[in-house]
């Protein structure tokens, strides 16, 4: 018994050390954003909210935030439409090209973002499509589609086929079956997948950097600010982005948790 307690203590200590090594650097800019900066060093004895006040009054940051939200919402809507259609097509089992479909959907997500971004950049250049927020939306949709598709497919496969068969037996059309049978059962999965997709889009930097035009999103704005050196504004922006994406992930987990069966 004593040996087991010692082993658990060592495991807890190792887990705590790993947690500190992994997440310790994240908390440094968050904590320093609440203190003043003097001669390039953080003054831990002078707490202040000036960095957040300056951030809220920065017009460039607000424009980048608006662009980020616009791109994220558009990418979520497009990925949900494509994800539902692809999941229904795959789950129907009527096509021999289902493996190819999954390969096409998952490949941009599994490749390094720089490869996906370069491929999109070359494609847009070859078809003479000017880079703008539209190309960023396309790039983000391609990137997050795999997550949305897989989430919806898992939920779809967990549903009993007898529900669909009963709907057809009662004379419902394909659209009515989707609207009144499948869609209500997919709603929570759609919300969870949409939130996670928005979180990924909100943080995406490499693909955005390669396919964007003159309109910057928030991560690109942050990257441009860091080239001039770290300031309290940067620390505050990092804290806002980390806090917002963490909140989105926790919210998505609420909708993606397995439902309890009576």
Greatest alpha-carbon span in the chain: 76
CA angle 45, 46, 50 (to 5 degrees): 155
CB distance 182 to 167 below 8 Å: no
Helical packing angle, 98-110 and 133-158, nearest 10°: 130
Q: What percent of the chain has pLDDT over 70?
A: 92
pLDDT exceeds 90 at position 43: no
Residues making up the chain, counted from first to last:
262
The secondary structure element, H or E, covering residue 41 is strand 41-47
Mean pLDDT taken over the chain: 83
pLDDT at 4: 66
pLDDT at 262: 39
Q: What is the DSSP letter of 182?
A: I
Average pLDDT over residues 40-63: 79
Nearest alpha-carbon partner for 135 in 75, 80, 193: 75
pLDDT exceeds 60 at position 1: no
Nearest alpha-carbon partner for 121 in 208, 53, 60: 208
- 150 or 166, higher pLDDT: 150
- 161 or 132, higher pLDDT: 132
Cα–Cα dist 107/149, whole Å: 13
Average pLDDT over residues 64-81: 93
């Amino acid at each position: 018994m004593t040996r087991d307690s010692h082993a658990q203590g060592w495991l807890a200590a190792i887990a705590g050390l790993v947690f500190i090594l992994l997440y310790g650097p994240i908390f440094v800019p968050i904590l320093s954003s609440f203190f003043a900066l003097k001669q390039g060093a953080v003054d831990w004895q002078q707490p202040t909210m000036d960095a957040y006040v300056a951030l809220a009054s920065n017009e460039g940051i607000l424009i980048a935030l608006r662009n980020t939200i616009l791109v994220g919402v558009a990418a979520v809507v497009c990925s949900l439409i494509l994800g539902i259609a692809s999941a229904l097509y795959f789950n129907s089992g009527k096509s021999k090209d289902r493996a190819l479909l999954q390969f096409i959907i998952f490949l941009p997500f599994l490749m390094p973002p720089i490869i996906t971004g370069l491929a999109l950049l070359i494609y847009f250049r070859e078809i003479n499509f000017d880079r703008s927020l539209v190309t960023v939306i396309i790039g983000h949709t391609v990137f997050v589609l795999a997550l949305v598709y897989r989430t919806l497919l898992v939920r779809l496969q967990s549903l009993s086929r007898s529900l669909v068969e009963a709907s057809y037996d009662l004379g419902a059309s394909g659209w009515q079956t989707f609207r009144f049978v499948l869609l209500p059962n997919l709603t929570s999965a759609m919300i969870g997948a949409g939130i996670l997709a928005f979180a990924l889009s909100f943080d995406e930097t490499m693909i955005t950097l390669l396919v964007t035009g003159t309109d910057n999103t928030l991560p690109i704005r942050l990257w441009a600010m860091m080239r001039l050196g770290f300031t309290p504004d940067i620390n505050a922006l990092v804290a806002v982005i980390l806090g917002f994406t963490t909140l989105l992930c926790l919210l998505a987990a609420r909708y993606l948790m397995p439902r309890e069966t009576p």
